[in-house]
A = this chain, B = another copy of it.
Amino acid sequence: MEAHLTELQHFLPTSYYLPTRATDNRSPLTAFGTVLHYPHHKTIFAKGDEASFFFGVINGAIRLSTTAANGDRTIAGFALPGDFFGIQWLGQHTLTAETIDDATLVCFGSKRLARLSDENKVIRAELFSILRHSLWATQNHLANVSRHCAQERVATFLVELMDRSKKVNRRDVDVPMSRQDIGDYVGLTIETVCRVLTELRQKKIIDIPNRREIVIRNEPALRAVAQPES
């Protein structure tokens, strides 16, 4: 585990979704972590593993999932640049974290962080904020998956991806996850995800130049599909 503290200068702004958080703050945590590189399709930790570390994403994409006894996989969320995941004071991780892309992460030892947070009010507030944000995002996702039709779910996923994108031109969305991942995230089969995507393409709402890129051609229309009025 090598430390490249100089690289922490590149750590991206924390993007929280929470309306109360400014999106242009760098996290106060960045000064204390260790930078690590992971190749794609690598398990960072598995559900049930002792939670010795906690991570922030500098670059790449992570999927956080749980797999049932019958093999059904649920992806609870994706961690993108600026996000944190695996926060767990002590005890075990409740989800499995795997890289989708090659990824650069910042890693924090749980014990060290616990000590730091006892001493430092700012760190403490930051950790609490991260945890609250995770809860908020999960609740939102639950509401999306719980009672919406296929079109609404996929459209909501795309809007989310667009809004979280760090790109200048947000219309050109990078899709690092596979169709299967999307399906496991929104609670649909891979076939239904494909069908919805082609439908949106036929309606000229999106374009699909290649499998890991989606262009939003008509953002208002996409948002309308995601959040049906009345």
Contact = CB atoms under 8 A, between A and B. Distances in A.
Interface of A: 18-20, 66, 68-72, 74, 76, 87-92, 94-95, 118, 121, 124-125, 127-129, 131-132, 134-136, 138-139, 141-143, 145-148, 184, 187, 227-230
Greatest chain B CB density within 10 A among A69, A72, A128, A142 is at A142
The 8 closest A-B pairs by CB, nearest first: A146-B187, A20-B91, A74-B143, A138-B138, A135-B135, A74-B146, A142-B142, A76-B139
A230 B136 contact: no
Given A131-B132, A147-B74, A139 B91 contact: no
A132 B20 contact: no
A213 B76 CA distance: 33
Given A19-B92, A69-B229, A138-B138, 17 more contacts: A20-B92, A66-B139, A66-B143, A69-B228, A71-B230, A74-B146, A87-B132, A89-B128, A95-B139, A131-B131, A134-B135, A135-B138, A138-B142, A142-B142, A145-B187, A147-B184, A147-B187
Nearest to A121: B118
A142 B74 contact: yes
Contacts of A147: 72, 74, 184, 187
Contact of A227 (B20, B69, B76, B145): B69
A142 B143 contact: no
Nearest to A73: B147
A120 B145 CA distance: 39
26 contacts: A19-B91, A20-B92, A66-B139, A69-B227, A70-B229, A70-B230, A71-B230, A72-B147, A72-B148, A74-B147, A76-B139, A76-B143, A89-B132, A94-B139, A124-B124, A131-B131, A134-B135, A135-B135, A135-B138, A138-B138, A141-B142, A142-B142, A142-B145, A145-B145, A145-B187, A146-B187
A69 B94 CA distance: 32
Contacts of A89: 125, 128-129, 132
